[in-house]
């Protein structure tokens, strides 16, 4: 049912069934292991079990003979408020520049006759209309609504005059408390071609930096920085025999962040995926799901695709870089144990020409994603700045914690409640750390874990950490494979290079990570 014509033929047939007169096909999920295809239908009328059974029977003639159909039907009847909220959310995610000039109350929705959709309009001030009439905004909003609700949706732009407030020269000017809400950004996918097959060609990918909560339909696009095939056994349901299977672990990066994914190949794709290598650009479509107290991404499909040429990530609106440090003051740092490191080796241009902040955190726990419940707190930040290939500055501070530290954290880090007495609150530390990171790339070991904490508490205080990140764990997986390492933990890699340090303290971990990063880039010569 990949062809639009075939889809329309099926819909025309089932729309003759009672309750499915306006049904839309919202999605198809193919399970090649079970050889089934689940058709997800959305309707706006009450339907009978008989209609569902007949819709399932009708699907047989449109599917490949080897596949059995399954039917899932959901009744959705939107009202004006629901449609208005959906439009506002879609605009904020897809067209943030235009959305900044559009309040939810500026969206007018008029329902058409039952089951036939709605008209919507954007009320905008004169001079702002070009933001909404260019770039096919109305067409994309209409297509989005048609994909989730029954009926047709039509949009237009209306020019309205905004009332101007009378200016009082003697009135006090109130200080604005600006909110910096997190937005989910997307970019167009270009140069798409199939590797795994797909029912619908993905048009947009979510910025990896913005991937946080659960989603059963998440598309990302990035360059592979690490890919590894692993074998596992699975019991055959029919014979009961253990069967050897493969799965792939891979890391992709899009310039805003990195994402680890798991992919279970089909027979038709396993050799194609084995041929993928670091540097290849791919589009992953799959689900971000809660598992063992964290969120992990499983790719259902892998295809080729990349961002537009000369793609520059869109910056999120936030507070400017502070003019001065106020609470935590960086110190000059010279690591004499590394003196002469480059005496016999010219500094790689990748290190000479860029500035990096290598950082590490100690926290009260492992939850760095609000979707999984209450966020754990940062209790220590340690960082060093690499300038011209040398460790030049240090940033180190405890962070106040209003609750007692868990015993396991005390045992792991050696940090006690009394160590945090008098420490500055995160709201005072984050502006200084933001300034310390200004104009730098971020580096960490398993960097996404710490970055999610920094991003969350930065956003809470209006500072948007959008810097490009590099992960020493991923680099080590790429460059030290075959070196006999038992794993790619920080202490294991440090032992490989002969570095000794006080593990599980933020500054010591950051300093060791910086030394490892230098060695890895010396070997690699270039940045990923």
What is the CA 482 to chain-centroid distance, rounded?
31
- What digits encode the pLDDT tens for the residues 420-451? 999 999 999 999 999 999 999 999 999 989 99
* Cα gap 239→220, rounded to integer Å: 38
Q: Which distant-in-sequence residues (6+ apart) come within 8 Å of 523 by Cβ?
A: 479
* Cβ-contact 87, 145 below 8 angstroms: yes
Identify the H or E element spanning 226.
strand 215-235
Q: Helix-strand-coil percent breakdown of the chain, rounded to 5?
A: 30, 30, 40
* Cβ-contact 110, 78 below 8 angstroms: no
Q: How many helices (H) and strands (E) does the chain have?
A: 14, 20
Residue of 107, 183, 118, 185 lying closest to 145 (CA atoms): 118
Q: Share the mean pLDDT of the chain.
A: 85
Global pTM reads 0.60
Identify the H or E element spanning 6.
helix 4-14
* Cβ-contact 398, 434 below 8 angstroms: no
Residue 38's pLDDT band, with cuts at 50, 70 and 90, is confident
Residue of 12, 87, 15, 73 lying closest to 39 (CA atoms): 73
* Cα gap 324→51, rounded to integer Å: 68
* Cβ-contact 469, 513 below 8 angstroms: no
Angle between helix 506-524 and 490-497 (nearest 10): 60
Tokens of 264: 């279970």
DSSP for residue 267:
T
Tokens of 242: 């253990």
In sequence order, what DSSP letters do the residues of 463-502 get, joined into one string?
------EEEHHHHHHHHSTTS--S---HHHHHHHHT----
Residue 126, pLDDT above cutoff 80:
no
Residue 37 is predicted with a pLDDT of 83
- Alpha-carbon Rg of the chain, whole angstroms? 27
Q: What is the pairing mode between strands 441-444 and 469-471?
A: parallel
What is the CA 291 to chain-centroid distance, rounded?
17
* Average pLDDT score over residue span 48-70: 86
Q: Strands, DSSP E only, in 236-377?
A: 242-253, 258-263, 281-291, 294-306, 331-332, 355-363
* Cβ-contact 346, 225 below 8 angstroms: no
Residue 1, pLDDT above cutoff 60:
no
Residue 182 is predicted with a pLDDT of 58
Q: Which distant-in-sequence residues (6+ apart) come within 8 Å of 519 by Cβ?
A: 497
Q: Strands, DSSP E only, in 333-429?
A: 355-363, 378-387, 390-398
- What digits encode the pLDDT tens for the residues 343-387? 445 678 999 999 999 999 999 998 888 767 789 999 999 999 999
388: annotated active-site residue: no
Tokens of 119: 């008209």
Catalytic residue among 193, 445, 503, 504: 504
% of the chain surpassing 90 pLDDT:
43
Residue 427 is predicted with a pLDDT of 95
Tokens of 458: 């930065």
In sequence order, what DSSP letters do the residues of 33-83 get, joined into one string?
TTTEEEEEEEESS---HHHHHHHHHHHGGGS-TTPEEEEEEEE----HHHH
Angle between helix 472-479 and 490-497 (nearest 10): 60
* Cβ-contact 86, 148 below 8 angstroms: yes
- What digits encode the pLDDT tens for the residues 462-519? 999 989 999 999 999 989 988 999 999 999 999 999 998 888 899 999 999 999 999 9
* Cβ-contact 202, 192 below 8 angstroms: yes
Residue 293's pLDDT band, with cuts at 50, 70 and 90, is low
Tokens of 340: 């002469």
* Cβ-contact 211, 185 below 8 angstroms: no
Residue of 192, 252, 202, 196 lying closest to 224 (CA atoms): 252
Better-predicted residue by pLDDT, 372 or 233: 233
Residue 138 is predicted with a pLDDT of 87
* Cα gap 249→233, rounded to integer Å: 16
Runs of H (alpha helix) within 321-364: 349-352
Q: What is the pairing mode between strands 215-235 and 281-291?
A: antiparallel
């Amino acid at each position: 049912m990949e062809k639009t014509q075939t889809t329309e033929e099926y819909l025309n047939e089932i729309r003759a069934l009672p309750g499915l007169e306006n049904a839309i096909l919202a999605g198809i999920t193919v399970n090649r292991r079970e050889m089934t295809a689940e058709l997800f239908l959305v309707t706006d009328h009450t339907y009978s079990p008989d209609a569902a059974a007949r819709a399932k029977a009708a699907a047989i003639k449109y599917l490949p003979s080897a596949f059995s159909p399954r039917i899932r039907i959901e009744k959705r009847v939107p009202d004006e408020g629901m449609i208005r909220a959906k439009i506002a959310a879609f605009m904020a995610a897809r067209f943030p520049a235009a959305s900044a000039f559009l309040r939810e109350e500026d969206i007018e929705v008029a329902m058409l006759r039952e089951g036939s959709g709605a008209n919507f309009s954007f009320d905008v001030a004169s001079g702002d209309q070009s933001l909404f009439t260019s770039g096919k905004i109305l067409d994309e909003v209409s297509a989005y609504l048609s994909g989730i609700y029954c009926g047709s949706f039509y949009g237009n732009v209306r020019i309205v005059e905004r009332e101007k407030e009378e200016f009082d020269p003697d009135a006090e000017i109130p200080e604005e408390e600006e909110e910096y809400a997190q937005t989910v950004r997307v970019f167009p996918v270009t140069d798409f071609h199939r590797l795994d097959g797909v029912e619908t060609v993905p048009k947009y990918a979510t910025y990896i930096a913005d991937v946080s909560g659960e989603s059963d339909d998440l598309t990302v696009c990035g360059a592979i920085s690490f890919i590894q095939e692993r074998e596992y056994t699975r019991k055959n349901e029919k014979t009961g025999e253990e069967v050897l299977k493969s799965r792939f672990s891979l890391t992709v990066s899009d310039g805003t962040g990195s994402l680890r994914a798991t992919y279970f190949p089909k027979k038709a794709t396993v050799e194609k995926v084995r041929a993928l290598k670091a540097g290849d650009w791919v589009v992953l479509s799959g689900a971000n799901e809660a598992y063992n107290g964290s969120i992990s991404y499983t790719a259902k499909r892998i295809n080729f695709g990349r961002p537009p040429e000369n793609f520059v990530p869109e910056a999120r609106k936030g507070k400017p870089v502070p003019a001065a440090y106020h609470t935590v003051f960086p110190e000059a740092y010279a690591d004499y144990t590394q003196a002469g490191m480059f005496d016999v080796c010219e500094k790689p241009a990748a290190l000479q020409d860029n500035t990096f902040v290598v950082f590490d955190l100690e926290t009260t726990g492992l939850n760095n994603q609000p979707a999984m419940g209450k966020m754990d707190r940062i209790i220590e930040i340690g960082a060093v700045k690499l300038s011209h290939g040398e460790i030049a500055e240090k940033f180190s501070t405890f962070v106040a914690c209003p609750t007692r530290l868990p015993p396991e954290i005390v045992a792991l880090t050696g940090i006690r409640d009394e160590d945090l007495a008098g420490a500055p609150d995160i709201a005072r530390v984050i502006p200084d750390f933001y300034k310390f990171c200004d104009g730098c790339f971020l580096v960490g070991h398993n960097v996404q874990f710490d970055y999610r904490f920094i991003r969350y508490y930065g956003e809470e205080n209006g500072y948007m950490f959008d810097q490009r990140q590099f992960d020493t764990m991923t680099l080590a997986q790429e460059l030290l494979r075959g070196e006999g390492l038992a794993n790619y933990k920080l202490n294991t890699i440090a032992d490989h290079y002969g570095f000794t340090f006080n593990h599980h303290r933020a500054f010591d971990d950051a300093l060791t990570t910086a030394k490892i990063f230098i060695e890895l880039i010396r070997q690699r010569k270039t940045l990923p």
